[in-house]
Amino acid sequence: MLLGAIRRRGGLGASVGVRSLASVPSLPSAVADFVKGAVEECKPANVHVVTGTPEETANILAGLEKEGMVKKLPKYDNCWLARTDPKDVARVESKTVIVTKKQRDTIPIPAAGVKSQLGSWMSESDWQRAREERFPGCMAGRTMYVIPFSMGPVGSTLTKYGVQVTDSPYVVASMGIMTRTGAPVLNKLADGVDFVRCQHSLGRPLPLKAPLVNAWPCNPDKVLISHLPDTRQILSFGSGYGGNSLLGKKCFALRIASRIAKDEGWLAEHMLILGITNPQGVKRYVAAAFPSACGKTNLAMMKPTLPGWKVECVGDDIAWMKFDNQGKLRAINPENGFFGVAPGTSDKTNPYAMATIAKNTVFTNVGETSDGGVWWEGLDPPAAGVTLTDWHGKTWKPGSSTLCAHPNSRFCAPASQCPIIDPLWESEEGVPIDAIIFGGRRPEGVPLVYESFNWKHGVFVGAAMRSEATAAAEHKGRAQGAGGQGARLKRSRNRKTQDPDH
């Protein structure tokens, strides 16, 4: 019945279920074809096309609360707490693959018996088998949500578009914060712009064959996050954690975007962007690359202690950069929100982040206070009489042998709420980049800060750096390698042609 209705309409509408397909506007044909293919494979009970309205978001969150996946935090305005299955708390790098015809197109081919440290390749035939083991019927009994979204300001020449299908309402709520959705995006898709096809499933069809942990659907044994750069596709299975399920983030904005950028002549980088103004009123924009959980958000929202200096935030995680027709490197933040690591964030380390997350925020795997707030390591102790519940939902007391918040617990908040958001953060042409910094966690063995000799040396330094593993990855060890916590800081030329090293 569902597929028949889709075929008759030639598309799907804004808010649809089996009985209401005929009463809603159709999607653009290319999007409808993608959705029809996903419906045929995943067999959902219903389909809902996300419009991004406040009323829709409120309904999504109310449904999550009813299912026990999130809890409203009465201490704040429209803030929510989610607790995941303890097996689904971070990106799973060992199960994240790039699928290309040739291995050399993904990673340098390692010596026999050596595992590459630069990524994981999967052959097309192995991936097809893996897909057939996971996706057929995976959304049975659940609603498939269709999320048309924009990475970057709608209309910018640097912006790219995507459509994600998912059976996770938590993903819908989070993507509504992290990306731009709604009518402007649908209009662009109707104009025929290219889009990345993103398919995600929690891998827990209904009825359940085993009980959930923390009411959090996931399938840890079958997790696979796959990227097909040749066809601009992302397919993610088994995880509801943001880095694996919000496919506009690392999957699109870095992995697929880096391939699009290579083909089109620009850069997709794991970098914050900030504007810094000196006491004389001269403003420069800086991009800076650090691994996750190494301080990008704190640097992007720095509160200077030097009199007369001012820092403003464009983005805290990802930068898309391209030379304009004058040869000037320009960058946009393709995201619409902050997906930051909570532990260590406080009024002392990042007062602007604390102000940003005071409303309209989804918290994941942080501690909870008895007065309806959140808590994590790094915050001041709660007031007298206020008790704590840890990220497992158990009573917790200071001095306990376990942590109250998971080390990779997160906040997901709109970037527009940041008190120091840069006036040009949504500039369609991007902001002009004057310097690039590389850094990471390395407590010993290298200088704290150093400058490259020139652009070629800077590229070498950045490419050779390594950092300790953090809680943002599945690894528990403290991996170290060449390079370390250093920096490359070099002012760019106004014109690319003036400097062959640029």
Q: What is the pLDDT of residues 76-135, one digit of tens each?
A: 999 999 999 999 999 898 899 999 999 999 888 888 888 887 789 999 999 999 999 999
Q: Check residue 15 and give its pLDDT.
A: 45
Give the fold, CATH level 3, of 268-339+415-464. Answer: Phosphoenolpyruvate Carboxykinase; domain 3 (3.90.228)
- Cα–Cα distance, 345 to 171 (Å, whole number): 24
**226-270, pLDDT tens digit by residue?**
999 999 999 999 999 999 999 999 999 999 999 999 999 999 999
Q: pLDDT confidence of 442, banded at 50, 70, 90?
A: confident
- Cα–Cα distance, 364 to 234 (Å, whole number): 24
- Are 167 and 100 a contacting pair, CB within 8 Å? no
Q: Check residue 450 and give its pLDDT.
A: 87
- Are 387 and 395 a contacting pair, CB within 8 Å? yes
Query: Maximum Cα–Cα distance for the chain, whole Å?
Result: 67
- Residues annotated catalytic, as ranges: 91, 241, 250, 270, 292, 294, 317, 410
**9-66, pLDDT tens digit by residue?**
333 444 445 434 433 347 899 999 999 999 999 999 999 999 999 999 999 999 999 9
- For the four alpha carbons of 62, 64, 66 and 72, in that order, the dihedral sign comes to negative
Distance of CA 429 to the CA centre of its chain: 22
**DSSP-assigned states of every residue in 347-384:** TTT-HHHHHHTTBS-EEES-EEETTS-EE-BTBPPPPT
Give the fold, CATH level 3, of 29-70+91-264. Answer: Phosphoenolpyruvate Carboxykinase; domain 1 (3.40.449)
- Are 265 and 320 a contacting pair, CB within 8 Å? no
- Are 389 and 367 a contacting pair, CB within 8 Å? yes
Q: Check residue 12 and give its pLDDT.
A: 41
Q: Which of 106, 126, 131 is nearest to 116 (CA)?
A: 106
What φ, ψ does residue 36 adopt, rounded to 5°?
-60, -40
**27-42, pLDDT tens digit by residue?**
899 999 999 999 999 9
**365-416, pLDDT tens digit by residue?**
999 999 999 999 999 999 999 999 999 999 999 999 999 999 999 999 999 9
Prior bond of 74 cis (ω within 30°): no
Q: Which of 282, 318, 320, 283 is nearest to 300 (CA)?
A: 318
Report the range out of 23-27, 71-75, 439-443 with the highest average pLDDT.
71-75
Q: What is the 3-state secondary structure (H, E, C) of 191-255?
A: CCCCEEEEEEECCCCCCCCCCCECCECCCHHHCEEEEECCCCEEEEECCCCHHHHCCHHHHHHHH
- When the candidates are 2.40.30.30, 2.60.120.10, 3.40.50.1000, 2.170.8.10, the CATH number that belongs to 343-409 is 2.170.8.10
- Cα–Cα distance, 83 to 86 (Å, whole number): 8
Q: Check residue 113 and give its pLDDT.
A: 86
Q: Is the pLDDT of residue 180 over 90?
A: yes
Classified as helix, coil or strand, 133 is helix
**218-227, pLDDT tens digit by residue?**
999 999 999 9
Q: Check residue 448 and give its pLDDT.
A: 85
Question: Mean pLDDT, to the nearest integer, of 283-311?
Answer: 92
Q: Is the pLDDT of residue 477 over 50?
A: no
Beta partners for 268? 320
Q: Check residue 471 and give its pLDDT.
A: 65
- So where are the chain's domains? 29-70+91-264, 268-339+415-464, 343-409
Q: Is the pLDDT of residue 478 over 50?
A: no
The mean-pLDDT minimum among 11-15, 295-299, 329-333 falls in 11-15
Q: Which of 466, 424, 239, 468 is nearest to 332 (CA)?
A: 424
Between helix 169-178 and helix 54-67 the angle, nearest 10°, is 140
Q: Check residue 139 and give its pLDDT.
A: 98
- Cα–Cα distance, 36 to 27 (Å, whole number): 11
Q: Tell me the pTM.
A: 0.88
Helix (H) / strand (E) containing 262? helix 257-264
- Cα–Cα distance, 312 to 300 (Å, whole number): 8
